[in-house]
Amino acid sequence: MRKGHFKSHRSSGQGNRGRPFEEYIDFNNSLYLSNRLAVINKLPTPMRIIGTRGNEYTAVFDEKSTVDYYGVYAGKPILFDAKSTARTSFPLKMVHAHQVDYLERVEEQGGIAFLLVELREADTTFYLPLGMLRKYLKDARQGGRKSIPIADFEVYAYEVSRGRVPLDYLAVVDKLLERGQVG
């Protein structure tokens, strides 16, 4: 493949909305790695080249990627997707069925699987267990709410706070491992 520059195209408003959050997660993951706590990497988003002009490529992001992050923690595979919204509720339309299926398969194999959800308006991040996500998706399919309000996150999810790193989501994993609730 020739060397060149990439120019990407996304549907309006969709691209990069969670990019600062992912960069923050990447930073925290680099701290986990340098402190020998975990090895967690960003899974590149699949792209398809749709044209070239000189040394410049034009590409689109393929929709069906699995999840954002994968790695190993406490001797177990860990996979999760990062979601960020400007609201104080989490729109379920941000989660795709193939992502939930993939995370469920990871869980079935003894891995650690979850969503990391940033609610920017509330300036907080939550570890969203798959069980909670499945319940809300099922309720939505049956005519219920199409989003998860922050009040429910505060009761059924786990707020991620500062610890060994600024966004210590592995502290939540530790608690759940201790209780036998993951992996």
Question: What is the sign of the dihedral through the CA atoms of 30, 33, 38 and 41?
Answer: positive
* 15-46 pLDDT per residue, tens: 445 589 999 999 999 999 999 999 999 987 66
The domain in which residue 118 lies consists of 21-44+63-178
Instruction: Give the CATH number for residue 124.
Output: 3.40.1350.10
Number of domains the chain is built from: 1
Asked if residue 54 belongs to a domain, the reply is no
Average pLDDT score over the chain: 87
pLDDT at 183: 75
Which carries the bigger pLDDT value, residue 4 or residue 180?
180
What tokens appear for 152 in the block? 């429910």
Asked if residue 5 belongs to a domain, the reply is no
Cα–Cα distance list, 125 to 1, 54, 97, 120, 170 (Å): 40, 43, 22, 8, 13
pTM of the model: 0.82
Asked if residue 51 belongs to a domain, the reply is no
